Amino acid sequence: MQTLASPGAPDPVDPRPSALIPSSPPLIDARPLYSLPRALARASGAIVLIGSEIWLVAALMFWALLGFVGTSLPVEAVLGVLIGGPAVWATWQIIILAVAAERVRDDQDA
């Protein structure tokens, strides 16, 4: 009977790093991309749909908070910045993510 300390026993664990660490995908995707205008045209439906939902919620929140707090001009300006700023940021992020998703060609084998 051979033990792990025996000289003729096979090593159950491969000490090479390639056996311990699985291969990772390449950092740079080599697939060709669609052009920016084509990707923007393909993503425009999602951008309009999600962007309109963002701005509808922002407008209704602005209207509700003005009715609750008051309608003086400084209050309107502060609430406009507090609600409009995140709405602008969210809309910009939707545009960036939708266009980035549409630029990748899915019809080719990776």
DSSP of 14-41, one letter per residue?
--SHHHHSPPPPPSS--S-B--HHHHHH
| Amino acid 29: pLDDT | 59
| Amino acid 71: pLDDT | 80
Place of tokens 């052009």: 35
State the burial class of residue 99 (Cβ atoms within 10 Å of its Cβ: 0-12, 13-18, 19+).
buried
| Amino acid 90: pLDDT | 97
The pLDDT tens digits along the chain (110 residues) read: 445 555 655 555 656 555 555 666 655 656 667 888 888 999 999 999 999 999 999 999 999 998 888 788 888 899 999 999 999 999 999 999 999 888 887 665 44
| Amino acid 70: pLDDT | 77
CA 103, CA 31: separation in Å to the nearest integer? 10
- 104 three-state secondary structure: strand
CA 107, CA 105: separation in Å to the nearest integer? 6
Q: Could you give the residue ranges of the DSSP H alpha helices within the chain?
A: 17-20, 36-69, 73-103
